[in-house]
Amino acid sequence: MLLMNDFCISDKPRPVLSVSPQKWLTEGDPVTLICEVKGSSTGWTFSWFTVTASSDNSNRYELLSDSSRGAGGNYTVSSAAPNHTGVYVCSAERGKLTYNTWNSNKQPLWVTGVSPPVSLIISPSRTQHFTSVSLSLSCEDQSNSDRWTVRRYTDTWGLEDCLLSRWGSQTGSKCTINSTAPSDTGVYWCQSESGEISQPVNITVHLGVIVESPVHPVTEGDSLTLRCLYEHSTPPILRADFYKDASLIQSQTTEMIISTVSKSHERFYYCKHPERGESLKSWISVTASHSESQISVLHTLSSVLTVCPYLLVTVVLIFKCCRMRGITAE
């Protein structure tokens, strides 16, 4: 474990760390971390670190074992895996006397796995939440094990474990936030000591209006229901307008229902009330159904089998033609 220290040099630059193509990834996607020293692009040797939470919940920096792979300023992962989920920083040095930069900004990466070993269960079951309410986050696997810790990353507090935190209390694999605040907005996930993780979930805490949307990806073919809620009314459901990205898709209704979800519905959604205001945007993820994947495979196999006899006949005719030409030439 390595703790990075900054040296007191007045003109020392701070690298800028960015990610391409995006910080939210699906397992198997390629991703590149880009470390740049503005105004001075040559002669630098780069180091790459992940941010970890220490026993007092302060942030420490651990050098990546293959840090030298990003020596040119680009650290590339050709196929992202769930264990690449985390928070990264970079630094650079150059010259005979080893001139160091400051640590870069923190850059999180979130990787959604195909079949994670554990699920993060949120109650109430939605991604947006009101302030000053209780929020429960539980890690559930098939063996009902207690080996999972709820972890989060927020812009306000950085990387934290519920087990060691001042913001929540963990019993077994369940973390409870007694009174939510906007500073609790961030990405939450379950993690074991060996590095196994759940799907990361982006949770927002917002004053006033929120949109009720599912925590986990919706499967193609299933239905999707969105509602607009207001914390200071009973019942909390509002008659509001619903938007997909920036386009109005349904007006003055208590809920928006998509009866059959497809990949085209994977977008940002939010709701807006003329007097109460509007919610934050929630991203709806859509995954392919297992049956559709099987149908796709069967369709491909059927197509190949259909074409094969024609290919075989063509090859035989060509062979016979070449043979006849050979006999005629003799």
Shared domain check, 194 and 167: yes
Shared domain check, 189 and 127: yes
pLDDT tens digits, one per residue of 294-310: 433 334 334 433 444 55
Evaluate whether residue 3 is within a structural domain: no
Cα of first residue to Cα of last residue in the chain, in angstroms, is 80
Shared domain check, 239 and 176: no
Evaluate whether residue 322 is within a structural domain: no
pLDDT (0 to 100) of residue 165:
82
pLDDT (0 to 100) of residue 302:
42
Shared domain check, 74 and 107: yes
Closest CA to 130 of 254, 233, 274, 4: 233
Quick one: CA dihedral 193, 157, 216, 22, positive or negative? negative
Which residue has better confidence, 184 or 26?
184
Q: Across residues 267-271, what is the average pLDDT?
A: 95
pLDDT tens digits, one per residue of 31-53: 999 999 987 767 889 999 999 87
Closest CA to 265 of 293, 205, 225: 225
105 contacts 91 by C-beta, under 8 angstroms? no
pLDDT (0 to 100) of residue 300:
38
Which residue has better confidence, 327 or 124?
124
Shared domain check, 93 and 128: no
Domain end, chosen from 150, 183, 207, is at 207
Shared domain check, 280 and 213: yes
Domain end, chosen from 79, 112, 145, is at 112
pLDDT tens digits, one per residue of 186-241: 999 999 888 889 999 999 999 999 999 999 889 999 999 999 999 998 999 999 99
Residue 281 CA to chain centroid, in angstroms?
A: 16
Per the structure block, which two tokens stand in for 168? 């929540």
Q: Across residues 266-270, what is the average pLDDT?
A: 94
CA distance 307 to 297: 16
**With bands split at pLDDT 50, 70 and 90, how would you rate the model's confidence at 21?**
very high
CATH number of the domain where residue 213 is located: 2.60.40.10
pLDDT (0 to 100) of residue 326:
52
Count: domains in the chain: 3
SS (H, E, C) 14-58: CCEEEEECCCEEECCCCEEEEEECCCCCCCCEEEEEEEEECCCCC
CA distance 324 to 101: 77
Which residues form the domain of 275? 208-288
Domain end, chosen from 81, 112, 143, is at 112
Residue 222 is given by DSSP the state: S
Per the structure block, which two tokens stand in for 181? 């605040």
CA distance 18 to 1: 24
